[in-house]
């Protein structure tokens, strides 16, 4: 088959890219390793930056988000004896929304299927070919085991950290920067009404803890655990006791309830450069991973998709002035990508990476400030000094607020 953009991966990056291209009249084919049920149920991020929300709304995917999403105008930072509220609207005039990645993906999949543009689930053996030529291609086996080949103008590698796109860039042309943290997050989803109106990020000598939520009846909570910890050593009682201890605050109580899901996620910072090689463009986790403390992973994937879509759309606009006739219809045919759009495509990697590194720094900074590493009193006092500074300096709080709620796409 032939299309303009072949998209590998139906996570947030691939689905948002597909939607933005479709809305601009650009054809794409999305191929996804997993089933629809699997991608729609994969429990991950929960915080949407204001820019992500506006982008989803502007592109016709905001209806359920507006009904069910919870607008949060700030967060609480906590350490023993203190719970401080940071008011984002006062600090930077912006907000974030609580709306699970599961819901974002459901909305995007429904929108994609509604457009009639191809989305293949349960593919295998995905491979990219001829990315250094003007005729790149993606091959795969469809769910019935039939060999398929997509000829395209360019390939968007949106297939996450374990995908096939990033390894297709020759090692001699790429470099990676990585930091593995000696801890991870044990996360639970619980049938319990949130015990807070906004998210609590808590520093505690036992380790970091966080209280998030998904709805007025579902809470999402996290505990810092060592990388060597095993889920079977954490029964429900132990989890609730430790959450109550670390999140504890005078006059406040944590509501508990049945645990619906639990898992341990390791924490890593990772950036792979370049994000473009020939006709292959990487977006989202395929190119970079951040630890979740800054709530940036999903938002960064959406930002990459937006920058890449803008570049592709601009390159097509140049061509669209000369419509050509195809079987029974008149449409603009972008035989090749050229002009100003080509410049935008050339600068995609640089523009995206500038923002990626900014978010990588913010995520590392939030993580380092809030997690316990070793027993060094010097390190702990520095963390507490930074937390007190955030609660007493408007300039410091503003910096956190503008990063947390999201920097502009072209930052």
Give Cβ neighbours of residue 325 (< 8 Å, ≥ 6 apart): none
Q: In the set 32, 40, 103, 198, which binds ligand FAD (CB under 6 A)? A: 32
The contact mask relative to ligand PHB for 292-321 (x = CB under 6 A, - = no) is xx-x--------------------------
Position with the least CB separation from ligand PHB: 46
* Pair of tokens at residue 387: 């937390």
Assess contact for 389 and 396: CB atoms under 8 A.
yes
Distance CA 287, CA 356 (A): 9
Has 277 been annotated as catalytic?
Answer: no
Distance CA 140, CA 31 (A): 8
Considering the rule CB under 6 A, would residue 148 count as an interface residue with ligand FAD? Answer: no
- Residue count of the chain, please give it: 411
Has 361 been annotated as catalytic?
Answer: no
Query: What is the number of helices (H) and of strands (E) in the chain?
Result: 11, 22
Considering the rule CB under 6 A, would residue 100 count as an interface residue with ligand FAD? Answer: no
Q: In the set 10, 47, 186, 401, which binds ligand PHB (CB under 6 A)? A: 47
Longest dimension (CA), the chain: 74
Assess contact for 363 and 285: CB atoms under 8 A.
no
Candidates 27-35, 88-96, 331-339, 346-354: pick the segment binding ligand FAD (CB under 6 A).
Answer: 27-35
Please tell me which residue in 99, 201, 277, 348 is annotated as part of the active site: 201
Bridge-based pairing of strands 96-98 and 47-49 is: antiparallel
Q: Which is nearer to ligand PHB, 13 or 45 (CB)?
A: 45
Considering the rule CB under 6 A, would residue 209 count as an interface residue with ligand FAD? Answer: no
Considering the rule CB under 6 A, would residue 22 count as an interface residue with ligand PHB? Answer: no
Assess contact for 222 and 214: CB atoms under 8 A.
no
Has 296 been annotated as catalytic?
Answer: yes
Question: Which of ligand FAD, ligand PHB, none lies near 220, with the C-beta cut-off 5 to 8 A by kind?
Answer: ligand PHB
- In the chain, the N- to C-terminal Cα span, in Å, equals 37
Please tell me which residue in 211, 288, 296, 371 is annotated as part of the active site: 296
Has 292 been annotated as catalytic?
Answer: yes
Considering the rule CB under 6 A, would residue 46 count as an interface residue with ligand PHB? Answer: yes
| C-beta neighbour count of 67 within 10 angstroms | 7
Distance CA 76, CA 4 (A): 46
Assess contact for 300 and 288: CB atoms under 8 A.
yes
Question: Which of ligand PHB, ligand FAD, none lies near 34, with the C-beta cut-off 5 to 8 A by kind?
Answer: ligand FAD
Helix or strand run (H / E) with residue 136: none
Q: Which is nearer to ligand FAD, 203 or 222 (CB)?
A: 222
Has 72 been annotated as catalytic?
Answer: yes
Active site residues: 72, 201, 292, 296, 404
Q: Rule CB under 6 A: which residues touch ligand FAD?
A: 8-14, 31-34, 39, 44-45, 101, 123, 126, 158-160, 163-164, 265, 284-285, 292, 295-298, 301
Q: Rule CB under 6 A: which residues touch ligand PHB?
A: 45-47, 199, 212, 220, 292-293, 295
């Amino acid at each position: 088959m032939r299309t303009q953009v072949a998209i590998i991966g139906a996570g947030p990056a691939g689905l948002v890219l597909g939607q933005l291209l479709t809305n601009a009249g650009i054809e794409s084919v999305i191929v996804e390793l997993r089933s629809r049920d699997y991608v729609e149920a994969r429990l991950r991020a929960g915080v949407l930056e204001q820019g992500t929300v506006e982008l989803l709304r502007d592109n016709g995917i905001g209806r359920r988000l507006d009904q069910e999403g919870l607008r949060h105008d700030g967060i609480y930072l906590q350490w023993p004896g203190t719970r401080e509220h940071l008011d984002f609207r006062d600090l930077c005039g912006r907000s974030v929304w609580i709306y699970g990645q599961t819901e974002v993906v459901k909305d995007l999949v429904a929108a994609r299927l509604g457009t009639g543009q191809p989305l293949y689930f349960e593919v295998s053996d995905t491979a990219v070919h001829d990315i250094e030529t003007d005729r790149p291609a993606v091959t795969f086996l469809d769910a019935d085991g039939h060999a398929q080949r997509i000829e395209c103008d360019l390939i968007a590698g949106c297939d996450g950290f374990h995908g096939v796109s990033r390894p297709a860039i020759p090692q001699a042309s790429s470099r990676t920067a990585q930091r593995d943290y000696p801890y991870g997050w044990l996360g639970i989803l619980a049938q319990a009404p949130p015990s807070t109106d906004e998210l609590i990020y808590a520093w505690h000598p036992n380790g970091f803890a966080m209280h998030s939520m998904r709805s007025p009846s579902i809470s999402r909570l996290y505990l810092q655990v060592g990388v060597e910890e095993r889920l079977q050593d954490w029964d429900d009682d132990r989890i609730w006791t430790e959450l109550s201890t670390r999140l504890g605050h005078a006059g406040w109580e944590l509501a508990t309830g049945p645990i619906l899901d639990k898992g341990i996620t390791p924490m890593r910072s990772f950036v792979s450069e370049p994000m473009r090689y020939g006709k292959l463009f990487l977006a989202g986790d395929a190119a970079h991973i951040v630890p979740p403390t800054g709530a940036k992973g999903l938002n960064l994937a959406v930002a990459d998709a937006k920058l890449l879509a803008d570049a592709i759309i601009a390159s097509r606009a140049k061509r669209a002035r000369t419509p050509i006739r195809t079987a029974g219809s008149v449409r603009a045919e972008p035989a090749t990508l050229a002009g100003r759009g080509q410049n935008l495509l050339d600068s995609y990697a640089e523009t995206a990476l500038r923002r990626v590194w900014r978010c990588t720094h913010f995520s590392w900074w939030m993580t380092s400030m809030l997690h316990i590493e070793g027993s060094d009193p010097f390190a702990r006092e520095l963390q507490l000094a930074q937390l007190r500074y955030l609660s007493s300096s408007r300039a410091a709080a503003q910096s956190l607020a503008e990063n947390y709620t999201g920097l502009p796409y072209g930052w």
